[in-house]
Amino acid sequence: MSDLFDPMLAAGPVRDEVSDTAWLRGLLDAEAALAGAEADAGVIPREHADRIAEVARTGRFDPAAIGTASVGVGNPAAPLVRELTAQVGGAAGRVVHLGATSQDIVDTAAMLVSARAVRVLLDAVEGCADRFAELAREHTGTVQAGRTLLQQALPVTFGLQLAGWLSGLDAAADRLRAQRFAVQLGGATGTLASLGEHGPAVLSAFAGRLGLDEPALPWHTERTRIAELAGALGELSGVVAAAARALVLLAQTEVGEVAEVAEGSGGSSTMPHKRNPVAAVAASAAAQQAPGLVATLLGAMAQEHQRAAGSWHAEWRPLAELLRSTGSAVHWLRTSLDRLRVDTGRMRDNLDLTRGALLSERVTTALAAETGRLEAHDAVSACTRRALAGEGELADLLAADELVGGHLSRERIGELLDPADYLGSARIFVDRALTAHEKRKGTS
């Protein structure tokens, strides 16, 4: 955590869900639930479990002190157990952490922290998706230059572009919502030998008390749960990165089709005229941290035998940082959308930059029905090159061309070069994305 950089790179409510305080709460919740589960299975007296739960809930624990003490044993659970035992005291203190190993508690805490953070993150994603839907509906018919390889291609609508981002965000949210968070409880080597015949019953009660899934068996070195979560978060970050980057490009001075409008935002330290799309930039910056963090978590899947020597430990910070940065990316994208001003006039002006060449494909298709494909292509291409060279408007050049003008009237050429009349199924696709989004909301 950084007071200097976090306001930009760890913004939004997910940050608090992965803080040291949140992790400590997860560890203590796991210890309390373990004691309660062992009482449920008749392993320890109920009053001992109640005492452990009370201290876990109301005791005073210092994350910094526990972190410092963890270097002696290699994880924070061990010093926490020692402190919890001391505060519980008496006979109940002797059954704190009974049958568990440190990784059981840390992994279960990781699942609790992740599940809680994902719930908050999904709320933010849904808010962002709703804003995309609102804008897409508003701009269903707003004609815009489509761009491929950063060059103008055929016309699209801004609503279609927004619908594409909405669809991606909805798909990423569905994958994230499908994540299953399971408890970890296997004891020293994954057999729960110290709990004897009560092991399965304790595992089941443990999961039930925490509201997490019960795994078929311990997963100390089988890390697909972490990998799946990393992949889902990476996918969401990628969707955000794509939308944010496009918004930054559309806000360029030379393009000027969108802008972020917010008091006191977007300035420069040296250039008074600058109006930077800082929220979209921050969204992009946060989202671009995801690939490296995902790679680290995937790389840590290679773990030895029953307990890993280092790879497990390598997961802790990247997992928290991936949740934090993804949450920040979604937060800033929503901020950018809330600040967004769409310049429909500029979009129309940009369509005319090529003097009509944007629709040359359509003219070629219409002409080819009369003359043949190759002849039509060559004639329209020649006129288009002249228009791009500034020799005149494409419509006039086409009408004056012997082949083109001989088959297509000036009026027909004008109709063919109207970008608003060559949008294909854009409106249908926007409607389908909006319908799918509303259906999701009704079933989620």
The pLDDT of residue 4 is above 60: yes
Reported as a single tens digit per residue, the pLDDT across 305-327 is 999 999 999 999 999 999 999 99
Q: Give the rounded percent of residues in the chain with a pLDDT score beyond 70.
A: 97
pLDDT at position 109, please?
98
The pLDDT of residue 356 is 83
130 CB neighbour count, 10 Å cutoff: 17
Vertex 330, ends 327 and 332: CA angle to 5°?
Answer: 105
Tokens of 391: 């020799």
For residues 3-29, give the mean pLDDT: 94
The DSSP letter of residue 303 is -
Residues acting as catalytic residues = 268, 307
The amino acid sitting at 338 is D
User: What number is the average pLDDT over the span 261-279?
Assistant: 69
What integer pLDDT is reported at residue 357 of this predicted model?
A: 87
Average pLDDT, rounded, for the chain:
95
Give the pLDDT of residue 442: 78
Domain ranges of the chain: 6-346, 357-416
Specify the pLDDT at position 354: 86
Mean pLDDT of 292-313: 97
CATH class of the domain at 6-346: mainly alpha
The residues near 199 (Cβ < 8 Å, ≥ 6 apart) are 99, 187, 191, 192, 193
Q: Which CATH architecture has domain 357-416?
A: Orthogonal Bundle (1.10)
pLDDT attached to residue 2: 80
Token match 């979604």: residue? 330
Q: What is the mean pLDDT of residues 226-237?
A: 98
Instruction: Kindly report, residue by residue over 31-90, the tens digit of the pLDDT.
Output: 999 999 999 999 999 999 999 999 999 999 999 999 999 999 999 999 999 999 999 999
Question: Residue 156: beta bridge partners?
Answer: 144
Residue 268: pLDDT over 60: no
Mean pLDDT computed over 258-274: 67
pLDDT, tens only, 323-375: 999 999 999 999 999 999 999 999 999 998 888 888 998 999 999 998 999 99
Chain length of the chain: 444
Question: Residue 274 — very low, low, confident or very high, per pLDDT cuts 50/70/90?
Answer: low
Task: Write down the pLDDT at residue 441.
Answer: 83
Burial (0-12, 13-18, 19+ Cβ within 10 Å), 113: buried
Q: Among 28, 3, 32, 27, which residue's Cα sits nearest to residue 15?
A: 3
Say what the pLDDT of residue 83 is.
97
Q: What's the pLDDT tens digit per position in 173-205?
A: 999 999 999 999 999 999 999 999 999 999 999
Do strands 340-342 and 151-157 pair parallel, antiparallel, or not at all (unpaired)?
Answer: unpaired
* Residue 300 or residue 352, greater confidence: 300
404-417 confidence digits (pLDDT tens): 999 999 999 999 99
Task: Give the angle 245-249-425 at the CA atoms, nearest 5°.
Answer: 85
Interval 90-104: pLDDT, tens = 999 999 999 999 999
Radius of gyration of the chain (CA): 30
Answer yes or no: is pLDDT of 267 > 60.
Answer: no
- Model confidence, pTM: 0.93
Asked if residues 71 and 134 have their Cβ atoms less than 8 Å apart, the reply is: no
**Of residues 289, 277, 279, 280, the one with CA closest to residue 237:** 289
Would the pLDDT of 418 be above 60? Answer: yes
pLDDT at 264 over 90: no
CA angle 62, 63, 66 (to 5 degrees): 85
